[in-house]
Amino acid sequence: MSAEYDDLPDEVTAEVQTFSDVNVAWISKAVVAADVARPDNSQARARAIFAAVAGAQLMARSRSDISLFDALIESYRATGLLPA
């Protein structure tokens, strides 16, 4: 829904923001617990991971190709964005 953010009602935009915030907070805790990021930079890492996964979803959906999502996620792991 973030792609259509400007066209959404205020109530929905608030929920979209909350969804992102909750997921980024969870990812932040997970990367610290996995010793992948330090607490002082875990939010930035979590936002990058969240954005990368959302982008992979958009690309795969726009091409109706789930294998593209899998390939992108694997490339994120290979480059170190996502923990292996």
Which carries the bigger pLDDT value, residue 2 or residue 41? Answer: 41
* pLDDT for residue 8: 84
Domain assignments of the chain as residue spans, ordered by start? 2-79
Full-model pTM: 0.84
* pLDDT for residue 5: 67
Give the DSSP H or E segment for 18: helix 10-33
Q: Which one-letter DSSP state was computed for residue 83?
A: -
Residue 45 to residue 81: CA distance in whole angstroms: 8
Once rounded to an integer, what is the mean pLDDT over residues 13-35?
94
